[in-house]
Amino acid sequence: MSSLQYTPERAAELKQNIEGVLAEVRSAGTEKSRLVAISKIKPSSDIMALYDAGHRHFGENYIQELSDKAKELPKDIQWHFVGNLQSNKVKLATAIPNLFALESLESIKKASLIETSLASISPPHPAPLNVFLQINTSSESNKQGIPPISSSTPLSPDVPEILALALHVVKECPHLRLLGLMTIGSFEASHAEGTRNPDFLRLVETRDTLEGILSSTEGVEKGSWGRKEEGGLELSMGMSADFKEALKEGSDNVRVGTSIFGSRPTKP
């Protein structure tokens, strides 16, 4: 049996699951809200089943696993990398021609490494690689990402990390496109009932603040960041436990794994 072969039963189950999630995305989101099926630890045959059902955006958080799956799966899948990209794995990521977005950029150093790597690839990728800056909205020390900002954050004497990184990507990295901001948020906030998720609100405020600064910064060309057509930065927030709330708060990109594929074994 090929690694892409799925059973009709599993395909039917996956299709039903993703249709349930897509129905929520359509009703609570906007026309443009994107569902990224997070397939980490799940077999390529699961991805193939959803591909055959018409789905194209998939996400992974281990780069070796993404690289292996990208090689055997159809080349028009749009891959999202949502994990921590170590410096020694940058080349593995940039070698994936259909990597749609790196959702977890958190340092200038990493941006420069990715830029240099992309610049050396032959044939070159047809479009700049979309990046989201990962924001640690819950300020948890075990979470990746840089601090959020608000309209009251001072911009001097120390430039906030997010602004320095955004300007670096926009001005110094022609092979990258700053598409948006991503957050994971705290487990407690995502499971609290009846309150608005403060981590999502912080990401919205950070996005609004950063857009305001970028729009009024000299030397930053209009159209050089954000969505190509409509402009503006995207928000990537919301997972299985909280994607409905995230859509209500304006998420453009929800990352859903368990609700589509079922629970994952805990990694040893």
Question: DSSP label at 143?
Answer: S
- For the CB of residue 82, give the shortest distance to ligand PLP in the complex, in Å: 4
Shortest Å, Cβ 8 to ligand PLP: 24
Tallying the residues shown for the chain, one arrives at 268
Round to whole Å and give the CA distance between 205 and 262.
33
Q: How far is the CB of 134 from ligand PLP (least distance, A)?
A: 9
Nearer to ligand PLP, 201 or 241 (CB): 241
Identify which of residues 163 and 180 has a Cβ nearer to ligand PLP in the complex. 180
Q: Which residue is nearest to ligand PLP (CB)?
A: 257
| Contact assessment for residue 236 and residue 251, using Cβ atoms and an 8 Å cutoff | yes
Those residues whose C-beta lies under 8 Å from the C-beta of residue 211, and which sit 6 or more positions away, are 226, 232, 233
Tell me the backbone φ, ψ of residue 113, rounded to 5 degrees.
Answer: -60, -40
Least distance to ligand PLP, CB of residue 111, Å? 19
Cβ proximity to ligand PLP: between 117 and 144 the closer is 144
Q: ∠ at Cα 155 (150, 156), nearest 5°? A: 150
Nearer to ligand PLP, 39 or 175 (CB): 39
Residues 132 and 103 sit within 8 Å (Cβ to Cβ): yes
Give me the least distance between CB of 221 and ligand PLP, in Å please.
31
Cβ nearer to ligand PLP, comparing 169 with 239 = 239
Q: Which residues lie near ligand PLP (CB under 6 A)?
A: 38, 40, 61, 82, 184, 239-241, 255-258
Angle formed at CA 39 by CA 33 and CA 44, multiple of 5 degrees? 125
Contacts of 158 (CB under 8 A, 6+ apart): none
Closest to ligand PLP by CB, 36 vs 178, is 36
**Least distance between ligand PLP and beta carbon 40 (Å):** 6
d(CA 106, CA 127): 21
